[in-house]
């Protein structure tokens, strides 16, 4: 456990309505004080955060770490390094590993591997055995082993009865049920959004309704069961509307949006770069605008990367054959920050969506710099402009369509338990 004094930064902490130039003192790994003019004491490392924005450590509630089973794409260690470089102090990893995290042995394996990482890694368990959608996974024993939610992400639970049972059962543990909303029948063999562009590009389309029918179904089932439902990677204006209406009715549903769905439209698929192939697919400008509006008014509670590493052999193939997904941990910040710079989303709302909101959904004690909280802090320079360079990624995979993008907002320091686990200046030295 470490001692750290972060001086002169603009501290934005929505959990205590704080937005001021202050110093943050962390002693023995916990936040000890936040006020101006704290003097350094012997044995306390000092970080100069002048000109930077200092926030509670960012929580990414949706990553894929690929271990066990696909460690050529990512390991828990490489994913944790990528997270730290991207400013994230806590990440939750999805269950679509091999074997699937559908039992306490895999959950314990993940936590054992994560114990040597500087980033806090949380495991999300599967809803159904083998992600097959037929039988519930060992949810109770995985809960005892430490899972923070359940999801068949990457494979939607198609059977409404099984989904109802999962929602019912989740209440016993107050676990959030995270829905990857895509109806297999409607999606068919679609590889991009169904619309004018899929016709123009000659690729099979996946209609927005494929997502929206599952969002609507799961909202109805959440109402029926009283369980906590979270919609992963919301991509359509219709889903945002459904979420907004459900929330107004008091149904316990939350939602997240990814950097790519907030930035790109299906126009990006026009160069057949397989790094644009993602599930759910990139949509249209009306959807991007609705997502941004949803983040602004809180209908979209959380920002989440859906970091989905894939190797070159799975991406350098025909569009139809390529794997779905793109990496996100190391590029997320400037795209989230852009919502404030260019789209008028208040900075405090963005920070909330990166910290307090995902922590609350997962039920983890993170996302706040209140005295006594864990000393997890993310510090970024809001003015720094640069180009994304995928060759610098810590991730084992580089499947991003954003290579070379000019962006603003750079992670300077990432801190967990008062220990600096990433420093941009040490990187470039």
Binding mask 197-236 for ligand DOR (x = CB under 6 A): ----------------------------------------
Minimum CB distance to ligand DOR smaller for 181 or for 345: 181
The nearer residue to ligand DOR, 100 or 166, going by C-beta atoms, is 100
Q: Which of 13, 67, 118, 306 is catalytic?
A: 306
Q: Does 319 bind ligand DOR (CB under 6 A)?
A: no
Q: 312: which residues sit within 8 A by CB, 6+ positions away?
A: none
Q: How far is the CB of 278 from ligand DOR (least distance, A)?
A: 4
Both structure tokens of 323: 């794997």
Closest residue by beta carbon to ligand DOR: 325
What minimum distance in Å lies between the beta carbon of 24 and ligand DOR?
Answer: 35
Q: Does the footprint of ligand DOR cover residue 190 (CB under 6 A)?
A: no
Measured from the CB of residue 60, what is the shortest distance to ligand DOR in angstroms? Answer: 14
Binding status of residue 308 toward ligand DOR by CB under 6 A:
yes
Residue 278 binds to ligand DOR (criterion: CB under 6 A): yes
Among the listed residues 325, 334, 401, 417, the single contact to ligand DOR using CB under 6 A: 325
For ligand DOR, the closer CB: 179 or 299: 179
Q: Is 216 within 8 Å of 284 (Cβ atoms)?
A: no
Does 52 sit near ligand DOR (CB under 6 A)?
A: no
Binding flags for ligand DOR, 62-101, as an x/- string (CB under 6 A): --x-------------------------------x-----
Sign of the dihedral through C-alpha 164, 297, 19, 63 = positive
User: Is 26 near ligand DOR (CB under 6 A)?
Assistant: no
Q: Which is nearer to ligand DOR, 24 or 166 (CB)?
A: 166
In the range 148-177, which residues lie near ligand DOR by CB under 6 A? 153-154
Cβ 279 to ligand DOR shortest distance, Å: 4
336, 295 contact by CB (below 8 A) = no
Q: Is 287 a catalytic residue?
A: no
> Binding to ligand DOR by residue 324, rule CB under 6 A?
yes
Q: Please tell me the count of residues contacting ligand DOR according to CB under 6 A.
A: 11
In angstroms, what is the minimal distance from the CB of 399 to ligand DOR? Answer: 9
Q: Minimum distance between the CB of residue 324 and ligand DOR, rounded to whole angstroms?
A: 4
Contacts of residue 161, Cβ cutoff 8 Å, sequence gap at least 6:
none
Cis before 152 (ω within 30): no
Nearest distance in Å: CB 154, ligand DOR: 4
Binder of ligand DOR out of 180, 187, 208, 394 (CB under 6 A): 180
Name which of 153 and 284 has its Cβ closer to ligand DOR: 153
**Total residue count of the chain as it appears in this document:** 429
Chain residues in the site for ligand DOR (CB under 6 A): 64, 96, 153-154, 180, 278-279, 306, 308, 324-325
Enzyme catalytic residues:
306
């Amino acid at each position: 456990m470490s001692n750290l004094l972060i001086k002169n930064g603009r501290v934005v902490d929505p959990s205590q309505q704080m937005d001021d130039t202050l110093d943050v003192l962390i002693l023995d790994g916990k936040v000890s004080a936040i006020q101006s003019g704290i003097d350094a004491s012997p044995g306390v490392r000092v970080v100069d955060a002048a000109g930077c924005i200092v926030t509670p450590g960012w929580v990414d509630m949706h990553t894929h770490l690929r271990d066990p089973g696909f460690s050529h794409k990512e390991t828990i260690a490489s994913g944790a390094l990528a997270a730290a470089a991207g400013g994230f102090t806590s990440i939750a990893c999805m269950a679509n590993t091999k074997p699937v995290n559908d039992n306490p042995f895999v959950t314990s394996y993940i936590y054992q591997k994560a114990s040597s990482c500087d980033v806090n890694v949380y495991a999300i368990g599967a809803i159904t055995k083998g992600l097959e959608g037929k039988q519930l996974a060992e949810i109770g024993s995985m809960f005892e082993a430490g899972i923070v939610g359940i999801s068949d992400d990457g494979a939607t639970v198609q059977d409404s009865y099984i989904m109802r049972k999962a929602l019912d059962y989740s209440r016993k543990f107050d676990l959030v049920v995270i829905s990857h909303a895509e109806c297999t029948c409607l999606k068919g063999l679609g590889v991009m959004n169904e619309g004018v562009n899929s016709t123009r590009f000659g690729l099979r389309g996946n209609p927005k309704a494929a997502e929206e029918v599952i969002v609507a179904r799961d909202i109805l089932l959440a109402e029926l069961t009283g369980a906590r439902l979270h919609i992963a990677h919301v991509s359509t204006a219709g889903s945002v509307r459904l979420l907004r209406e459900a929330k107004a009715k008091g149904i316990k549903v939350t939602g997240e949006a990814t950097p790519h769905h907030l930035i790109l439209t299906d126009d990006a698929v026009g160069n057949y770069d397989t790094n644009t192939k993602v599930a759910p697919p990139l949509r249209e400008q009306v959807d991007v605008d609705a997502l941004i509006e949803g983040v602004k008014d809180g209908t979209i509670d959380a920002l989440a990367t859906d970091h989905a590493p894939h190797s070159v052999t799975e991406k350098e193939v025909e569009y139809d054959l390529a794997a779905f997904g793109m990496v996100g941990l190391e590029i997320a910040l400037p795209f989230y920050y852009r919502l404030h710079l260019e789209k008028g989303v208040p900075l405090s709302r963005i920070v909330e969506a990166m910290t307090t909101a995902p922590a609350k959904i997962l039920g983890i004690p993170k996302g706040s710099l209140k005295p006594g909280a864990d000393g997890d802090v993310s510090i970024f320079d809001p003015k720094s402009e640069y180009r994304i360079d995928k060759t610098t990624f810590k991730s084992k995979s580089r499947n991003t369509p954003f290579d070379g993008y000019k962006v603003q907002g750079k992670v300077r320091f990432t801190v967990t338990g008062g220990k600096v686990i990433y420093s941009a200046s040490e990187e470039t030295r």
